[in-house]
């Protein structure tokens, strides 16, 4: 198998929930970045010892420890990461303290959620100096949905086009990934009815996945379920909102790319 191109930069993403990690990997691969994903601090330490990275993104809360502690360890113990940007991201109760802790550990900074993929891509490009910042926004690309009257769509088209850099086929792939994962989350939430903590965890994950792609109506319902719980009627409404997104993709992007249905 041929190796990556000389200008390919490899990123390490640690601890992000499954959909966001998969979505980021899909988008970054399309933009000619290589992506290594680690689900825990232990996995990240092993990866850092055996590979070289151009940038590291670490979730604040990891299943086996603190993202701040991992970032500090990577900076202190891994020689190949001496000058590599390391960023921590997540939901901190005290963002100022998180930023100060990052500075004290010699990390590049703290990114507070919600963090759009479009903004994150801009930060990645800037810190890895790939593609530069001069071209970003230099020309405004039309939305790849010409010939359609798009009245009050169930998804933020500009955010989606920004994530995909106007690539219609990539939009289809992102939509397919989101719909498959959102459907699974709702099914798991139905099985978790009455299990408060598990239901909140699933609702939180669905909220984040939906915000990432601009499915804000789904995200609002998921946030309400995270905060207040839900019932059969609430889950039915969530399912209908996800179905609205599915119909939008099928009707608006019919025939795009490879022609595979969503």
The tens digit of pLDDT for each residue in 140-193 reads 445 555 444 556 788 887 777 777 777 777 888 888 889 999 999 999 999 999
Q: What is the mean pLDDT of residues 121-132?
A: 75
Pick from 14, 22, 15, 19: nearest CA to 218: 19
**CATH T-level assignment (fold) for domain 9-128:** Rossmann fold (3.40.50)
pLDDT at 254: 55
The pLDDT score that the predictor gives to residue 25 is: 80
Q: What is residue 262's predicted lDDT score, i.e. its pLDDT?
A: 31
Mean per-residue pLDDT of the chain: 82
pLDDT of residue 1: 38
With 70 as the cut, is the pLDDT of residue 7 above it? Answer: no
Q: Which two tokens stand for residue 63?
A: 């299943």
At 113, the pLDDT band (50, 70, 90 cuts) reads confident
How much is the pLDDT for 160? 79
Question: 76 or 141: which carries more pLDDT confidence?
Answer: 76
Range with the lowest mean pLDDT among 2-6, 44-48, 58-62? Answer: 2-6
pLDDT of residue 119 exceeding 90: no
C-alpha of 205 from chain center: 11
Structure-block tokens of residue 56:
């590291």
Asked whether the predicted pLDDT for residue 255 surpasses 60, the reply is no
Q: What is the pLDDT of residue 49?
A: 93
| Among 261, 216, 224, 262, CA closest to 241 | 216
Q: Classify domain 157-252 by CATH number.
A: 1.20.120
What is the reported pLDDT for 145? 55
Domain with CATH 1.20.120 in the chain: 157-252
pLDDT of 204 strictly over 60: yes
Instruction: Judge whether residue 253 has pLDDT over 80.
Output: no
Q: How confident is the model at residue 77 (pLDDT cuts 50, 70, 90)?
A: very high
| Domain boundaries for CATH 3.40.50.2300 within the chain | 9-128
The answer to whether the predicted template modeling score (pTM) of the entire model surpasses 0.85 is no
Per-residue buried b or exposed e for 235-246, using 16+ beta carbons within 10 Å of the residue's own CB:
bebbbebbeebb
Neighbours of 32 (CB within 10 A): 13
141 or 20: which leads in pLDDT: 20
Q: What is the pLDDT of residue 151?
A: 66
pLDDT of residue 129: 77
């Amino acid at each position: 198998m041929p190796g990556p191109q000389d200008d390919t930069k490899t990123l390490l993403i640690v601890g992000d929930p499954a959909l966001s990690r998969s979505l980021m990997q899909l988008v970054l691969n399309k933009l000619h970045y290589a992506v290594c994903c680690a689900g825990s601090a232990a996995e990240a330490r092993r990866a850092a010892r055996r590979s070289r990275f151009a940038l590291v993104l670490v979730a604040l809360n990891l299943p086996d420890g603190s993202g701040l502690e991992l970032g500090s360890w990577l900076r202190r113990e891994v020689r190949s990461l001496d000058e590599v940007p390391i960023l921590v991201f997540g939901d901190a109760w005290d963002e100022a303290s998180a930023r100060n802790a990052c500075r004290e550990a010699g990390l590049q900074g703290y990114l507070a959620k919600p963090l759009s993929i479009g903004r994150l891509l801009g930060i990645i490009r800037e810190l890895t100096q790939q593609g530069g910042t001069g071209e970003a926004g230099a020309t405004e690309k039309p939305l790849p949905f010409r010939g359609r009257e798009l009245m009050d769509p169930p998804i933020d088209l500009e955010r989606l086009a920004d994530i995909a850099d106007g690539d219609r086929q990539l939009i289809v792939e992102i939509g397919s990934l989101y719909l498959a994962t959102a459907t699974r989350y709702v099914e798991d939430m139905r099985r978790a009815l009455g299990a408060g903590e598990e239901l909140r965890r699933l609702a939180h994950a669905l909220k984040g996945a939906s915000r990432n792609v601009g499915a804000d109506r789904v995200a609002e319902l998921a946030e309400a379920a995270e905060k207040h719980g839900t019932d059969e009627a609430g889950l039915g409404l969530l399912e209908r909102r996800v179905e609205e997104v599915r119909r939008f993709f099928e009707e608006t992007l019919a025939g795009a790319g490879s022609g595979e249905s969503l």
